[in-house]
Amino acid sequence: MSNRQAVNAKIAEKPLETLSSSEWEALCDGCAKCCLHKLEDADTQEVLYTKVRCSLLIEQTCRCSDYKNRAVRVPNCIDLQDRDLSQLDWLPSTCAYRLRAKGEPLPNWHYLISGDRERVHTEGVSIRGRAISDEYVHPDGFDEHIIHWVE
């Protein structure tokens, strides 16, 4: 095992509250599902995902085009690092932050395990090629884009 693989393996197993800022960022699997607009059913409180993505997201790379300033440019953008880690159930079941908050292992496709940053896309876990920008959808029309992806 290379030194890099050993470091990645340690990050993959560390509790979230012990991660440094750079380790926290490294844990992100790059699926970009957190950048999708979500709706909450008023009756059941179920979180419903839409295929509508933030306009700052570059869909091909599943990366934010202005990550450093995203909270200023998109006021409702959520910084997971500032959240109560027990309240991550709105994230997809495959999310590394949600899994690690529950003490569960990362999936084999996660790059900290596989060493391949493209695998999240080739395994069909990311939103690459499956979303539309919120600049093309009226906020009152998000409910027309609710999706149910098998995870």
Question: Residue 80, class by beta-carbon neighbours within 10 Å (0-12 exposed, 13-18 middle, 19+ buried)?
Answer: middle
Strands 36-40 and 146-147: unpaired
Half-sphere exposure (Cβ direction) of 143: Cα atoms closer than 13 Å:
4
The pLDDT tens digits of the residues spanning 76-85 come to 898 887 777 7
In this prediction, residue 6 has a pLDDT band, given cuts at 50, 70 and 90, of: confident
Residue 150 has a pLDDT of 67
